[in-house]
Structure 1
Amino acid sequence: MSTRNNAWIAYVFLAPVFIVMTLLVFIPLAQGISYSFTNMNQYNMGNQFLPPSYEWIGLKNYSDLFGTIFQPKSVFRDVLVQTAIWTFVNVFFHFTLGLFLALLLNRKIKGRGIYRMLLMVPWAVPSFVGAFAWQWMYNDKYGLFNLVLKNLGLPAVPWLGDSFWAMFSAILVNVWIGIPFMMVTLLGGLQSIPESLYEAARIDGATWWQQLKNITLPLLKPVAATATTLGIIWTFNMFNIIYLITGGGPVHSTEILVTYAYREAFRNWNLGIASTYGVVILSVLIVFTLFYRRVLKANANEGVYY
Structure 2
Amino acid sequence: MSMVLNTSEAPAWRTRARQLAAPEFVTPAILLAPSILLLVVVVAYPMIQGLFFSFTDGSLMKAGKWVGIDNYTKLLSSPAFYHSLRFSAVFAVCNIVGCYLLGLGLALLLQKDMPGRGVFRVLLLLPWIVPSLVSIVSWRWMIADEGALFNQIIKLFGGSPIYFLSDSTWAVIVVILIKIWRSFPFMMLSLLAALQSIDRSLYEAAAIDGATRWQSFWNVTLPQIKNISIVLCLLMTIWTVNDFDTPWLLAQGGPANATENLVVLAYRFTFARNDVGMGSATSFITLFVLMTLVFFLLRWQRRS
What TM-score, normalized by structure 2, do the two folds share? 0.88
1:286 is the counterpart of 2:303: no
AA in 1 matched with 2:148: G
> Offset of 1:94 from its aligned partner?
0.5
What is the aligned partner in structure 2 of residue 129 from structure 1?
134
Q: Show structure 2 runs of 5+ residues with no match.
A: 1-17
Q: When the two structures are aligned, how many residues end up with a matched partner? A: 286
1:229 is the counterpart of 2:205: no
Tell me, yes or no, if the aligned pair for 1:226 and 1:296 is still in contact at 8 Å. no
> Offset of 1:297 from its aligned partner?
5.6
Tell me, yes or no, if the aligned pair for 1:226 and 1:292 is still in contact at 8 Å. no
Q: Show structure 1 runs of 5+ residues with no match.
A: 47-51, 69-73
Cα distance per residue 1:216-244 (max 9 Å; x no partner): 11111111111111111111111111111
Q: Distance in 1 between matches of 2:144 and 2:65?
A: 45
Q: Distance in 2 between matches of 1:2 and 1:219?
A: 40
> Offset of 1:111 from its aligned partner?
1.6
By percentage of residues, which structure has more helix? 2
Higher-Rg member (1/2) = 2
What TM-score, normalized by structure 1, do the two folds share? 0.88
Cα distance per residue 1:63-116 (max 9 Å; x no partner): 111123xxxxx1111111011111110111010111111111112222211111
What is the aligned partner in structure 1 of residue 35 from structure 2?
17
> Offset of 1:294 from its aligned partner?
4.6
Q: Distance in 1 between matches of 2:168 and 2:80?
A: 15
Identity %: 38
Cα distance per residue 1:246-302 (max 9 Å; x no partner): 11011111000011101110111111100100111121232244356557867xxx9
Q: Distance in 1 between matches of 2:49 and 2:19?
A: 42
Range that drifts further, 14-23 or 283-292? 283-292
> Offset of 1:3 from its aligned partner?
6.5
What is the aligned partner in structure 2 of residue 198 from structure 1?
203
Aligned-residue Cα RMSD (Å) equals 1.9
Q: Distance in 1 between matches of 2:80 and 2:144?
A: 27
From 278, 282, 298, the equivalent of 1:277 is 282
What is the aligned partner in structure 1 of residue 148 from structure 2?
143
1:185 is the counterpart of 2:190: yes
Q: Distance in 2 between matches of 1:13 and 1:218?
A: 40
AA in 1 matched with 2:58: M
Tell me, yes or no, if the aligned pair for 2:54 and 2:278 is still in contact at 8 Å. yes
What SS does the aligned partner of 1:120 have? Answer: helix
1:258 is the counterpart of 2:246: no
